[in-house]
């Protein structure tokens, strides 16, 4: 199955960065069909203007409703197929903070439309009329939504069937089981006087699994006790 991801951005070339690593593999294997659309192609003047000054004054520019909504309608299926096959997500610092659970839900969809904002953001009426979900990648402000969209796409790409080399890997990671990941070691056995924990060399898979679980709980308790609380309340 292919996940179609429509991206609306005035800098579609930035998404070339997805051509590497795991997201590159997802594109190559057609696990993702990436459809990039520039709202400038829907601008009403020959200067391809997509932004204007904010009503009420203040600094910066705002992405105009008309070219943006026309771009969304063209790609999200509303115009071409009569109805949208998936949610329209606006990447925004005002959105709820994205978690691995959101990523898993996105990965299970047949289609997803992402809007990357620029300037001071997009006209509120586009959010009212076209946006189903507002998602933030963290409590800081980026200059545009492109990197945020790519963060979402890469996190989704690695969950799609056939993309990860070893199907087990995604299951054992941070957040997937509600806690952080255990520490990893590879050769050599001794690096700058630091030895690989003995248990990992023991070949005893039961003991190794127990040690990893205990290490994962320890690091979660130290760094993200909130995850343990959520886990015990069953809220995430
Ligand atoms: C300069 S920001 C606009 C910030 C907006 N005026 C505010 O204070 O909430 C321009 C665009 O970057 C994107 N963006 C910035 N920070 C983001 C974040 N933390 N998560 C997701 N998208 C973000 C959004 O698409 C936004 O429209």
pLDDT of residue 93: 98
CATH 3.90.226.10 fits 3-157, yes or no: no
Distance CA(90)–CA(65), nearest Å, equals 13
Q: Residue 136: name the closest of 152, 123, 153 by CA.
A: 152
Distance CA(64)–CA(30), nearest Å, equals 33
Distance 143 CA to ligand 1 centre (A): 6
| 173-233: CATH class | mainly alpha
Distance CA(161)–CA(26), nearest Å, equals 9
**Of the residues 88, 142, 147, which should be mutated to test ligand 1's pocket, given the most ligand atoms within 8 Å of the CB?**
142
Whether the pLDDT of residue 19 is over 80: the answer is yes
Asked whether the whole model's pTM tops 0.85, one would answer yes
Across the chain, the runs of DSSP E, i.e. the strands, are 3-8, 32-37, 51-52, 62-63, 88-97, 111-116, 133-136, 190-191, 194-195
Distance 91 CA to ligand 1 centre (A): 7
**Of the residues 68, 121, 134, 138, which should be mutated to test ligand 1's pocket, given the most ligand atoms within 8 Å of the CB?**
121
First to last CA, the chain: 27
Distance 134 CA to ligand 1 centre (A): 11
Q: Indicate if the alpha-carbon torsion angle 17, 18, 22, 28 is positive or negative.
A: negative
Decide whether 3-157 matches 173-233 in CATH topology: no
| Atom 2 of ligand 1, nearest CA residue | 143
Distance 136 CA to ligand 1 centre (A): 8
For the ranges 108-122, 128-142, 166-180, 219-233, which has the lowest average pLDDT?
A: 166-180
Confidence of residue 147 (pLDDT cuts 50, 70, 90): very high
Confidence of residue 81 (pLDDT cuts 50, 70, 90): low
pLDDT of residue 47: 97
Higher pLDDT, 172 or 147: 147
**Per-residue model confidence as pLDDT tens digits over 156-197:** 999 999 898 765 577 778 888 899 999 999 999 999 999 999
**Per-residue model confidence as pLDDT tens digits over 46-57:** 999 999 999 999
Q: Report the pocket of ligand 1 as residue ranges, CB < 6 Å.
A: 91-94, 116-118, 120-121, 136-138, 140-145, 148
| Atom 1 of ligand 1, nearest CA residue | 143
Domain boundaries, the chain: 3-157, 173-233
| Atom 15 of ligand 1, nearest CA residue | 142
């Amino acid at each position: 199955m292919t996940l179609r991801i429509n991206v609306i951005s005035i800098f579609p070339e930035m998404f070339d960065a997805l051509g590497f690593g795991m997201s590159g593999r997802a594109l190559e294997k057609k696990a993702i069909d990436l459809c990039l659309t520039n709202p400038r192609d829907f601008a009403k003047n020959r200067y391809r203007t997509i932004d204007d000054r904010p009503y009420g004054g203040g600094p910066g520019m705002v992405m105009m409703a008309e070219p943006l909504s026309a771009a969304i309608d063209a790609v999200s299926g509303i115009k071409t197929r009569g109805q949208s096959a998936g949610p329209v997500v606006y990447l925004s610092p005002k959105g709820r903070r994205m978690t691995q659970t959101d990523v898993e839900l996105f990965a299970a969809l047949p289609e997803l439309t992402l809007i990357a904002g620029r300037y001071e953001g997009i006209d509120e009426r586009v959010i009212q009329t076209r946006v189903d979900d507002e998602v933030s990648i963290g409590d800081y402000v980026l200059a545009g939504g492109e990197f945020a969209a790519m963060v979402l796409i890469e996190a989704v790409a690695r969950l799609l069937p056939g993309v990860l080399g070893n199907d087990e890997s995604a299951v054992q990671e941070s957040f997937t089981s509600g806690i952080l990941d255990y520490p990893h070691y590879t050769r050599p056995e001794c690096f700058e006087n630091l030895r690989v924990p003995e248990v990992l060399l023991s070949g005893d898979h039961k003991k190794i699994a127990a040690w990893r679980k205990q290490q994962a709980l320890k690091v979660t308790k130290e760094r993200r006790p909130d995850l343990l609380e959520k886990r015990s309340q069953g809220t995430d």
